[in-house]
Amino acid sequence: MFHSLWSSLSRLFADAPPPTDPSARRRDPPATGTSAPSSVFTTERQDEGAPGLLTRTEVMDAGLNIRGYEFALRGDLRERIRAQGRPVRDFLDDMLISQLDTHAGELLRERRAWLQLWEGSLQRGIAERLPPRTCLLLAPDNATRPAPPETRSRIASLRAAGFEVWLDDCFGTPWFASVADHASGIVLRMAWRTPNETGAMLGKLRQDWPGLRRAAWEVASYEDQALVAKLGCSLFSGGFVTHRGNWAGNQLSPQVLHVATLINKVRADADNREMAAVLKQDLAMSYRLLRFVNTSTQGLNHAISSIEQGLMVLGQSQLDRWLTLLLLTGSAGGGGALTEMALSRARFLELLGQGRLNAADCERLFVLGLFSMLDVALKVPLEDAITPLRLPDDMNLALLKHKGPFGACLALAEACERGEAARVEQLAVNMRLSTARINARQMEALAWVAANSRDTTAA
**HSE of 143, CA atoms in CB hemisphere, 13 A:** 13
Tell me which of 337 and 33 has the higher pLDDT: 337
Q: How many residues does the chain have?
A: 459
Between helix 2-15 and helix 283-296 the angle, nearest 10°, is 50
* pLDDT value of residue 6: 44
**HSE of 178, CA atoms in CB hemisphere, 13 A:** 16
Cα separation, 191 vs 361, whole angstroms: 40
Cα separation, 281 vs 259, whole angstroms: 12
Mean pLDDT along residues 309-337: 77
Cα separation, 320 vs 364, whole angstroms: 10
pLDDT band at 15 (very low <50, low <70, confident <90, very high): very low
Mean pLDDT along residues 84-101: 83
pLDDT band at 452 (very low <50, low <70, confident <90, very high): confident
CA distances from 284 to 261, 287, 289, 326 (A): 16, 5, 9, 12
* Whether residue 242 has pLDDT greater than 50: yes
* pLDDT value of residue 33: 39
* pLDDT value of residue 175: 97
Asked whether the CA dihedral 450, 220, 231, 163 is positive or negative, the reply is negative
The type of residue at 77 is: L
Q: What angle do CA 333, 339, 343 make, to 5 degrees?
A: 155
Mean pLDDT along residues 78-85: 53
* pLDDT value of residue 30: 35
Phi, psi dihedrals of residue 241, rounded to the nearest 5°: -65, -40
* Whether residue 14 has pLDDT greater than 50: no
CB 166 within 8 A of CB 178: no
How close are the terminal C-alpha atoms of the chain, in Å? 15
Helix (H, G, I), strand (E, B) or coil at 188: strand
Q: Give the lowest-confidence range in 10-14, 98-102, 107-111, 214-218.
A: 10-14
* Whether residue 84 has pLDDT greater than 90: no
Q: What angle do CA 52, 55, 61 make, to 5 degrees?
A: 165
pLDDT tens-digit series, residues 24-66: 333 333 333 333 333 355 555 545 445 689 999 999 999 999 9
* pLDDT value of residue 456: 37
* Whether residue 20 has pLDDT greater than 70: no
* pLDDT value of residue 317: 80
* pLDDT value of residue 284: 79
Alpha helices in 111-249 (DSSP H): 119-122, 149-160, 174-179, 195-208, 222-230
* pLDDT value of residue 308: 84
The 3-state DSSP composition of the chain as helix, strand, coil percent (nearest 5) reads 55, 10, 35
Percent of the chain beyond pLDDT 90?
51
Between helix 335-353 and helix 407-418 the angle, nearest 10°, is 130
Pairing mode, strands 164-168 and 135-139? parallel
Mean pLDDT along residues 247-255: 88
Cα separation, 60 vs 444, whole angstroms: 20
Cα separation, 116 vs 359, whole angstroms: 39
Cα separation, 388 vs 171, whole angstroms: 51
* Whether residue 1 has pLDDT greater than 50: no
- The conformation of residue 293, written as its DSSP 8-state character, comes to H
Q: What is the pTM of this model?
A: 0.84
Q: What is the mean pLDDT of the chain?
A: 83
pLDDT band at 293 (very low <50, low <70, confident <90, very high): confident
Q: Give the lowest-confidence range in 11-25, 194-208, 222-236, 343-357.
A: 11-25
* pLDDT value of residue 382: 95
